[in-house]
């Protein structure tokens, strides 16, 4: 995925691309083949080639968010160590907020959704202390919380809107 982003001269890491895409989808943005232009607010970006890694990322992310078994996972580095993974998680949150903000418009959020969004914003602004110990367990707990927060926001904005459309 990093190579695909480099080919398109995107200044985003895989975690940031995934965060922005998930924010867009969770905010009710369209699951569209031309997602890069929409999510990164750059109409000059090309549509990812069908079956190419960036297209597969969109398809997998949309499927995971809609999975009734809560199969959604954050795309973060697996082997980089705790500190780089935590930094990637914070960057994922910043990108999520950008994509979410572009898509959500004036859709109302539940009280729980508002709290989840505030927590995402707090994590987006977080920084690690230089002396902090590697705490794999805490990072895993934060990742799990984020996973559920994203699913809650998706239910508020994307699933709720679809369900309302079906009722009318």
Query: pLDDT tens digits, residue range 7-32?
Result: 888 989 999 999 999 999 999 999 99
The ranges assigned to domains in the chain are 2-167
Model pTM? 0.90
Euclidean distance between CA atoms 104 and 153, whole angstroms: 10
Fold for 2-167, please state it: 1.20.120
Summarize pLDDT for 34-84 with one digit per residue, the tens: 999 999 999 999 999 999 999 999 999 999 999 988 889 999 988 767 888
Q: How far is CA 145 from the centre of its chain?
A: 13
What CA–CA distances, in Å, run from 39 to 128, 134, 164? 27, 33, 24
Token representation of residue 11: 């200044």
């Amino acid at each position: 995925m990093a190579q695909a982003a480099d080919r398109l001269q995107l200044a985003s890491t895989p975690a940031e691309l995934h965060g922005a895409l998930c924010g867009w989808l969770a905010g009710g943005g369209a699951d569209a083949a031309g997602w890069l232009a929409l999510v990164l607010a750059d109409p000059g970006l090309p549509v990812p080639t069908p079956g190419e890694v960036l297209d597969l990322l969109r398809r997998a992310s949309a499927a995971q968010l809609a999975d009734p078994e809560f199969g959604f996972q954050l795309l973060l580095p697996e082997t980089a160590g705790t500190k780089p993974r935590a930094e990637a998680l914070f960057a994922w949150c910043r990108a999520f907020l950008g994509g979410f903000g572009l898509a959500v418009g004036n859709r109302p959020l539940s009280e729980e959704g508002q709290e989840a969004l505030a927590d995402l914003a707090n994590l987006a602004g977080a920084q690690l202390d230089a002396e902090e110990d590697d705490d794999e367990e805490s990072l895993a707990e934060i990742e799990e919380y984020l996973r559920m927060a994203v699913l809650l926001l998706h239910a508020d904005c994307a699933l709720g809107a679809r369900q309302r459309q079906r009722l009318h």
